[in-house]
Each structure stands twice: as C-alpha cells, then as structure tokens.
C-alpha cells in the first residue's frame, strides 16, 4: 500500500514511513492510495479482528505474525474481555464503550497499538526518536501510556500548570518509566502548543533529537479506529448501523467513514459537537467558518478547527491535492471555506448528519440516561447521545461511541446525577501514587535544554 499527501506535493510513502512522519512535508495529511475492501472477518477476539482489518494498510512492511502479537498486547491492556463492549440503552440504541483502556479514554484504542508499532519499526531501523507534545487533558496520558514500555522512544509532554484536572495530571505524572517526562509550564495550553510548534520549527533541534509527534493527524491512529466500527456492525448482526460520534478533530468519525468505504454496513454518521460547533455549522451551511474556542464540560472536543477534515475534503476534491492545498490556504488566511453544492450532495448529504449540544443539554442528557438505565456516562458521550436523539432515523440501529469513562470527569457527572463515579480498580490508588513532574517557565530555551537533557 502506498500513501499520498492530501496536498499533492509530498513524496508517496509506504506505511512505516507514514507512521514515523506524521504530517507530510507539504503540510498535508497522508491517506492510502485507495481504500481496500474489508477482508473476511476472522474468528477470535478484537485483536484478531484488528489484525485482519489493518493488514491491507500495512502490507508486508510489518511481518504479519509480529503485527498480530502487537494487536494482542495492545488490546490485552483493556480491562474488559470484549475490549470495546456494546451496551443497549434503548430500543435500537446502543453505546459502545471505548474507554476500558489504561487511561480511560478512547484514544487508548489507537495509541496502545501505535506506541508498539513505533517501537517495532524503530528497532528494525536501529533508530530512536523523541516525542514532544502539548496536552490539555486526554491525549497526553494516552500517549504516555502507549509508549511507556518502548525502548526506542522517549516522550516529553508539556501541560499548563494548574490548568488540567487532578485525574488527568495524576495519570501523566505518576507513570514511573525512564523514558517518560512531564513538564508543568507556567502558562496556558496555547503557550504549551506554541512551545511544541517552536521546537518543531527549529530544524537543527528537530534533526538532532529526531523529534516526532503522535497527534491525531497520524494515519496509523485513524487506521486503528476503523476496527471498532467493523466490530460493532458485526456484533449487531451485519445490518446497516448508524454511528453517533462525539467529535473534536474529526479523526474518530473519519474512521467510521473509512469503514464504510471499505464496505462495512455504515448507514450514516452523526457528528456530535458541543458549543464549539464549527462542524454542525458546516453541515448546515456548507461553509466552514472558524471562531474562537469556548471552554465546555467536554474539554476534549473544545477545538477551533478539525484537522482530520482535510482527509474528507481531499475526497470531495476528487483527490486533487492542488485544489485541497488551495482551499486549506484560503481557510488559513480568511478563516472561511466553502464547498460546492455538487460536492456536498455527493459526499456529505448521503452519509453525514450533525447536531450540537451545549453544557445544559449535556447535563440533561447525563441525567436522563442515568434515570432511564442507571448508567453513568461522561460529558463527551452525553454530547453523542444527545446528537443521536436529535438526528437518528426510524428503524435504524444507532451506536453512540462512548469516548471517556465517567470517572475521568467526576465533577460534571456528579453535578448531573448526584452520583460521584469511582475510578476502576486499576486506578483506585491513583491519588496516593507519587508524582514526578518538572516545572519550567514559558521559555523555549529552557524547554529545549530540558528535552535535550532527558533524551537517551
Ligand atoms: C479526543 C476525544 C474526542 C474527540 O475525538 P476526535 O477524534 O478528535 O474527533 C472525544 N471525546 C474524548 C473523550 C476524547 O478524548
């Protein structure tokens, strides 16, 4: 399988290079040259399914037996025998719990595997790399947990001091591994992101440390997420299924669209947003207009621009990289981008619907689900359930993807239901584990010298 950039100027690469590169050199995102048909689904569990679904994207770049072993290890870290269990909450309505991984967020599904893929390919090449990232919450802990056993990867995660939740901070700072480092920056999340960008823009520094990122534009993360759509459809007997997806960067819901391209019975995709509803406004108006970010109860969806949307835009442009590059540059300079009615009619209208839900609706949905079923759901999942109930079609089963464990957001859950969710057993002692973090000022030179000092 070869991969092409959505902006048409970067070299075509194979899977391993795409894995390590993340972003393409022309600023675009890598996509496969074609979407392969679904293979025959194997007997066995989630790891076997993941191996079968991903194999055509990897080809012979990674040995098939090694890939299966990595899938088994990655999904062996999930604390539920079904890995991603389906729970019915109403007639024709299910929740798929994607949060049984080590850090209780759906990002574990991709990052537990991607960490292992990184280490495998680096070992083969005799290389090492340094991952630097900024986090406002879930991504940092999931990335750390995904690489904490990697021999060839070091990771430094910057977070804004005093501005992430206690659970989120503890999940990052209590990991005791020689390659894991967290930095508490005296500043905001934007300051952290700017520091990371500045490190990547310093070409000498980037080369010296072989810097890499594991953000959601990495193709391998999207690929790993295709698997649970296939699993859900299979578990519901193979009939067409609608999925409702709490959406931020569009990576998760894009994976559902790809499952459909591969031939899985995806009836439709509901894109759920909180008050940061750039996508809902796009689906209503066919025009993408950026606006500021406001904080909500579902912080992992507080985004201004959904970076993975570019992969769908590339398809809408009939895979014309030049046209896509032009649209993206127009969007960057004007904060606005429109699509043609025929593009909309062909690519969006048949498959996508969208709905948004503010904090009030989020709390009401958490309360409603608790009263009807006794189940606690987190605020991100609640946005998804609300979107389901706003946009579902009669007679089509709907699966809402549950993207975080309720115990990750105990204050919001308690506010809605009166019940404070407890951490699962493997994290029960989280608050008594020793923390290890390094406070630094919002200063590029100080951060660079720290990163250099911890590289192995
Ligand atoms: C990252 C995240 C999302 C958004 O997923 P995207 O792939 O960025 O759309 C939703 N919910 C939770 C809990 C997350 O951590």
Q: What is the dihedral of CA 19, 23, 24, 26, to 10 degrees?
A: 180
Cα separation, 247 vs 269, whole angstroms: 11
d(CA 243, ligand 1 centre) in Å: 15
In short, whether 379's Cβ falls inside 6 Å of ligand 1 is no
The helix/strand count (H/E) of the chain reads as 18, 15
Residues of 416-431 as b/e, b for ≥16 C-beta within 10 angstroms?
bbeeebebeeebeeee
d(CA 127, ligand 1 centre) in Å: 31
d(CA 125, ligand 1 centre) in Å: 32
CATH (one of 3.30.390.50, 3.40.190.10, 3.40.50.1100, 3.40.50.720) for 86-105+219-417: 3.40.50.1100
pLDDT in tens, 124-171: 999 999 999 998 778 899 999 999 999 999 999 999 998 888 888 999
Q: Which of 32, 67, 63 is nearest to 52 (CA)?
A: 67
Mean pLDDT by 10 residues, the chain (456 residues): 97 96 90 97 96 97 98 97 97 97 96 97 96 87 95 96 89 96 92 90 92 87 98 96 96 98 98 96 91 90 89 97 96 92 94 97 98 97 98 96 96 97 92 96 98 95
- In the prediction, which pLDDT does 23 show? 86
Give the nearest ligand 1 atom to 408 CA.
13
Answer yes or no: are the C-beta atoms of 79 and 99 closer than 8 Å.
no
Cα separation, 134 vs 151, whole angstroms: 22
What is the residue with the minimal CA distance to atom 11 of ligand 1? Answer: 403
Q: Are strands 93-97 and 86-90 parallel, antiparallel or unpaired?
A: antiparallel
- In the prediction, which pLDDT does 304 show? 81
Cα separation, 179 vs 132, whole angstroms: 12
Answer yes or no: are the C-beta atoms of 451 and 199 closer than 8 Å.
yes
Q: Hey, what are 212's tokens?
A: 């890499």
User: N- to C-terminal Cα distance for the chain?
Assistant: 33
Cα separation, 160 vs 66, whole angstroms: 38
* Residue 107 appears among annotated catalytic residues: yes
In DSSP notation, 274-286 reads -S--HHHHHHHHS
In short, whether 246's Cβ falls inside 6 Å of ligand 1 is yes
Give the nearest ligand 1 atom to 225 CA.
7
pLDDT in tens, 223-259: 999 999 999 999 999 999 999 999 999 999 999 999 9
In short, whether 301's Cβ falls inside 6 Å of ligand 1 is yes
In short, whether 404's Cβ falls inside 6 Å of ligand 1 is yes
In short, whether 251's Cβ falls inside 6 Å of ligand 1 is yes
Give the nearest ligand 1 atom to 138 CA.
15
- In the prediction, which pLDDT does 292 show? 85
- In the prediction, which pLDDT does 200 show? 87
Cα separation, 29 vs 220, whole angstroms: 11
Give the nearest ligand 1 atom to 378 CA.
13
d(CA 207, ligand 1 centre) in Å: 30
Task: Catalytic residue, from 107, 170, 392, 408: name it.
Answer: 107
In short, whether 380's Cβ falls inside 6 Å of ligand 1 is yes
What is the residue with the minimal CA distance to atom 1 of ligand 1? Answer: 300
Cα separation, 390 vs 395, whole angstroms: 15
d(CA 444, ligand 1 centre) in Å: 28
Q: Where are the domains of the chain?
A: 86-105+219-417
- In the prediction, which pLDDT does 216 show? 80
Q: Hey, what are 88's tokens?
A: 């019915």
Cα separation, 105 vs 110, whole angstroms: 10
In short, whether 273's Cβ falls inside 6 Å of ligand 1 is no
Mutation to probe ligand 1, out of 247, 256, 378 (largest number of atoms < 8 A from CB): 247
Crossing angle of the two packed helices 107-125 and 64-76, in degrees rounded to 10: 140
User: Model pTM?
Assistant: 0.96
- In the prediction, which pLDDT does 202 show? 92
Q: Are strands 129-134 and 211-212 parallel, antiparallel or unpaired?
A: parallel
Region of 165 (left: φ > 0; alpha: ψ -120 to 50; beta: rest) is beta
In short, whether 217's Cβ falls inside 6 Å of ligand 1 is no
Give the nearest ligand 1 atom to 404 CA.
13
Give the nearest ligand 1 atom to 99 CA.
13
d(CA 352, ligand 1 centre) in Å: 18
Cα separation, 324 vs 315, whole angstroms: 9
Cα separation, 48 vs 41, whole angstroms: 9
Mutation to probe ligand 1, out of 97, 105, 145 (largest number of atoms < 8 A from CB): 105
* Opening angle at CA 190, ends 188 and 191, nearest 5: 65
- In the prediction, which pLDDT does 193 show? 86
Cα separation, 288 vs 348, whole angstroms: 13
Residue 291 in 3-state DSSP? coil
Q: What are phi and psi of 46, to 5 degrees?
A: -65, -40
């Amino acid at each position: 399988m070869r991969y092409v950039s959505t902006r048409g100027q970067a070299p075509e690469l194979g899977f391993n290079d795409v894995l390590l590169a993340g972003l393409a050199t022309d600023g675009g995102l890598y996509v496969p040259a074609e979407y392969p048909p679904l293979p025959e689904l194997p007997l066995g569990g989630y790891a076997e399914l993941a191996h079968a679904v991903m194999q055509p994207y990897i080809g012979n770049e990674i040995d098939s037996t090694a890939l299966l072993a990595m899938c088994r290890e990655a999904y062996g870290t999930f604390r539920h025998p079904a890995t991603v269990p389906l729970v019915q909450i109403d007639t024709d309505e299910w929740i798929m719990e994607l949060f049984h991984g080590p850090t209780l967020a759906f990002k574990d599904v991709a990052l537990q595997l991607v960490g292992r893929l990184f280490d495998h390919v680096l070992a083969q090449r005799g290389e090492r790399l340094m991952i630097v990232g900024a986090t406002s919450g879930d991504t940092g802990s999931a990335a750390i947990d995904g690489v904490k056993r990697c021999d060839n990867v070091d990771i430094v995660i910057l977070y804004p001091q005093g501005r992430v939740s206690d659970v989120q901070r503890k999940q990052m700072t209590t990991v005791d591994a020689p390659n894991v480092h967290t930095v508490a920056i005296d500043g905001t999340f934007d300051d952290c992101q700017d520091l990371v960008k500045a490190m990547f823009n310093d070409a000498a520094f980037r080369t010296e440390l072989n810097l890499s990122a594991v953000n959601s534009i990495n193709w391998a993360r999207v690929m790993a997420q295709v698997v649970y759509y296939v699993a859900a459809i299979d578990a519901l007997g193979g009939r067409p299924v609608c999925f409702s997806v709490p959406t931020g960067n569009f990576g998760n819901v894009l994976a559902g669209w790809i499952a459909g391209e591969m031939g899985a019975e995806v009836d439709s995709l509901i894109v759920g947003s909180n008050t940061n509803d750039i996508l809902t406004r796009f689906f209503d108006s066919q025009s993408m207009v950026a606006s500021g970010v406001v904080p909500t109860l579902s912080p992992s969806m507080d985004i201004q621009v959904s970076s993975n949307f570019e992969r769908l835009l590339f398809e809408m442009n009939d895979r014309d990289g030049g046209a896509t590059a032009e649209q993206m540059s127009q969007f960057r300079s004007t904060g606005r981008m429109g699509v043609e009615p025929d593009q909309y009619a062909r690519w969006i209208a048949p498959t996508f619907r969208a709905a948004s839900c503010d904090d009030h609706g989020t709390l009401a949905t958490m309360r409603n689900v608790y009263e009807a079923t006794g189940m606690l759901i987190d605020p991100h999942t609640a946005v998804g359930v609300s979107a389901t109930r706003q946009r579902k079609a009669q007679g089509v089963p709907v699966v809402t993807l549950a993207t975080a464990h309720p115990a990750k957001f105990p204050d919001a859950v308690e506010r809605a239901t009166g019940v404070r969710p407890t951490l699962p057993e493997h994290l029960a002692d989280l608050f008594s584990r020793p923390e290890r973090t390094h406070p630094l000022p919002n200063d590029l030179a100080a951060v660079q010298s720290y990163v250099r000092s911890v590289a192995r």
